[in-house]
Chains A and B, each alone.
Chain A
Amino acid sequence: EAQVTQNPRYLITVTGKKLTVTCSQNMNHEYMSWYRQDPGLGLRQIYYSMNVEVTDKGDVPEGYKVSRKEKRNFPLILESPSPNQTSLYFCASSLVSSGGIYNEQFFGPGTRLTVL
């Protein structure tokens, strides 16, 4: 089954304790992206990757890191989480046509993160 998986689905942590949220897709998509969803703000892009070893900042990258060592995986790293990073996080992937991403994105189930 074609899908995007995220782990963990729920996480409660404390300020400053490094954490990683994993994202994996089995559709051989070149493009992957991380979003955070907050009430009234919709989806805001954190980082995206057009292919292996190619990453770029989205609209709200501060406090986050990513890496793309393999095509299928795109982990999100919070080196020193703070309470304002409490949010619902979604990973997504998409095909890349010539020149860019024009197709729909496929979303993972989400990770609800609480930073105390």
Chain B
Amino acid sequence: AQSVSQHNHHVILSEAASLELGCNYSYGGTVNLFWYVQYPGQHLQLLLKYFSGDPLVKGIKGFEAEFIKSKFSFNLRKPSVQWSDTAEYFCAVIPYSSASKIIFGSGTRLSIRP
């Protein structure tokens, strides 16, 4: 079955530390990839997306992600986190072969110590 794995369930960092959140998916065909962020008490918002082209995509608030097709990965990065980045982060995949649903990872909770 198609799945999306986020192996880090809870990450705790200090302000100004660098961030990398892992995302791997199990599908061999063409996919569209997304990272969503959910700030405390709020709904999910799009952080960035990859459809095609340059595998390094930049999103809002200084976030970026790199698509590595050979590793089926789409890791999220930020060089220097801020306290306001405290949130839950979800990776999501839409496989072209079954483009009637989006498959979400289980999420990674990010806590930033001020």
Interface residues on A, range: 20 to 34
Would A107 and B44 be within 8 Å (CB), given that A102-B51, A102-B94 are in contact?
yes
Q: Is the CB of A41 within 8 A of B106?
A: yes
Point out residues on B near A: beta carbons under 8 Å: 6, 9, 32, 34, 36, 42-46, 49, 51, 90, 94, 96, 98-102, 104-107
B46: nearest chain-A partner, CB-CB: A104
Partner of B99, one of A44, A56, A100: A100
Q: Quote the shortest CB–CB distance from A81 to chain B (angstroms).
A: 22
B32: nearest chain-A partner, CB-CB: A102
Q: Quote the shortest CB–CB distance from A61 to chain B (angstroms).
A: 12
Q: With A and B bound together, what is the CA distance between A6 and B51 in angstroms?
A: 29
Q: List 18 A-B contacts (CB under 8 A).
A: A35-B104, A41-B106, A42-B6, A42-B104, A43-B44, A43-B90, A44-B104, A48-B100, A58-B101, A100-B98, A101-B94, A101-B100, A102-B51, A103-B32, A104-B49, A105-B102, A107-B44, A107-B45
Instruction: List the A side residues contacting B42 at CB < 8 Å.
Output: 109
A50 at the interface (CB under 8 A from B): yes
Q: Quote the shortest CB–CB distance from B98 to chain A (angstroms).
A: 8
A108: nearest chain-B partner, CB-CB: B43
Q: Would you list which residues of chain A between 85 and 116 have a CB under 8 Å from chain B?
A: 90, 92, 99-105, 107-110
A67 at the interface (CB under 8 A from B): no
Instruction: List the A side residues contacting B105 at CB < 8 Å.
Output: 42
Q: Quote the shortest CB–CB distance from A75 to chain B (angstroms).
A: 18
A82 at the interface (CB under 8 A from B): no
* Residue in B36, B51, B94, B102 with the greatest tally of chain A CB atoms within 10 Å: B102
